[in-house]
Amino acid sequence: MTLYKTHWRAFTYLPMALLSGFLLFFSFPKFGNGILAWVALIPLFHALRNATPREGFKIGFVTGLIAHVGILYWISHVVVQFGYLPFYVGVAAVLLLAAYLSLYTACFAMGVLFLRERGNAFFLTAPLLWTVLEYARSHLLTGFPWETLACSQYLFKNIIQVADITGTYGITFAIVLINALLYNLLAARFRKGRYPVAEIVNACAVLAAIYGYAYYRTAEIHEALKRASLIEVALIQGNIDQSKKWDARYQSQTVDIYRSLSLQSIPARGGFIVWPETAAPFYFERPGPLRAALVDVARTSARTLLFGSPRYEEENGRVSFMNSAYLLRPDGVVAGRYDKVHLVPYGEYVPLRQLFPFIGKLVAGVGDFRPGKGFDPLVSDGRRFGVLICYEVIFPEAATAYKRNRADLLVNITNDAWFGRTSAPYQHLSMAVFRAVENRLYLVRAANTGISAVIDPTGAILSRTGLFERTVLKGEVKFIDEKTFYAAYGDVFVYLCGLLLILNDFIQKRRRNHARRNSRNIG
């Protein structure tokens, strides 16, 4: 009978867990809308209402698995199309990564139930715990902060401005807080007891603070932009077929495409041209006609040119490859080079190769890349460019390192051709928005097949291209020197959340012990 009840309870939990998973998935681009994130966790909370911590782990895992499979389905496309592996391997790759990420959702569900049993208020512990676990997910095992909960809000300017204080974690906290409040309100309709008035007041205060700060800070940034100097930028979207990109027979054609687009759309004097990641599909340091043709673009246009190219170094008979960006002055002289620091696991290198020698790279390429040494801006004409190559734009630490090194502008160069027409290019863009807000810098994004974009310091996407278009996106960028708390102090908000979570549990423990002593004394 007990076994029957356990299975029946699990069956009743499952629909709500699945619903939360689907709502989370549909909170993100390209298929969803960020508004759903504010109610996505309510079904999960309902499923947890009578569950034990052990059951909560299973319920949370189901929710996380559905959400992450939906968000990350595009990995199977990359593995099959460009890793030349069977379809079932692509599916397995998605399921394995989704299962790993679902452990955080599972731990969240188990954690809130465990803390509830210890007397902690669900309304407070839910946002605190989710925020701390999201931070852990973003840093453990090289970190994977792809489409964290806050990123669903990238189009809502009045919500995302607080990121220059708390990073994305403050927005995540607010979303989980509102979900918990709404669940409490709905639950109160179906049971006797007080309405959570204090929680309503607190949540309204949080939202009022977010919107109030957005109004104040946006006005401040716009005022600074009015006084700022500006230059024009031309973002070149070559739309080079990934299957031809590394074919030696098409190298000259690729350079000609980028050269022609660049010279047809030369920005105004003082401006600069940006080509995407590995837009030069050859080793630029090698002398030859391809290098000469590229240098001639800078000289003919008389503009600064920033472009991506692979690079190699040979030392003691060993060859190391880097994914790099070069900055050419208008006279064609190399002003600087940046080597990508944060590499893509199983795309640009294989972590834990000694423990798992049978695992190879899931995407075909030149070979294992070596990471660069640091986030040092490239300098030309007194302007400092903070370059983020592809995947690096999802890591706040990379952009804030550039801000601390006095970067004037963030430049994201990427090749999203790997992703096809899946949701990944849209998701990639959504995360770039937050790097502009956190550091109050313009961010320009040049992508081989799109989406190229110009993003201002308030996170507004001023202009953007479509996917798989051969085009040039011209825009203006301005340079402001606005200090931000987040760039200066990092994730203090998360540390406070962790401290408050521990402190709250400690206080509840003291109360329980005090109550037990009083009970014994009365007895």
* Residues with catalytic function: 277, 340, 390
Whole-angstrom distance, CA of residue 351 vs CA of residue 453: 32
Best CA proximity match to 387, nearest among 308, 488, 485, 490: 308
SS3 annotation, 413-444: EECHHHHCCCCHHHHHHHHHHHHHHHHCCCEE
Q: Between 87-117 and 122-137, two packed helices, what is the crossing angle to 10 degrees? A: 140
Best CA proximity match to 435, nearest among 415, 461, 417: 461
At 522, is the secondary structure helix, strand, or coil?
A: helix
Rg (CA), the chain: 25
Chain centroid to CA 256: how far? 33
Cβ atoms within 10 Å of 314's Cβ, excluding its own: 8
Whole-angstrom distance, CA of residue 340 vs CA of residue 278: 12
Q: Which amino acid is at 181?
A: L
Best CA proximity match to 486, nearest among 434, 416, 418, 447: 434
C-alpha separations of 222 from 75, 214, 480, 506 in Å: 39, 12, 10, 45
Both structure tokens of 357: 């020698």
Both structure tokens of 467: 């996917």
Whole-angstrom distance, CA of residue 306 vs CA of residue 236: 10
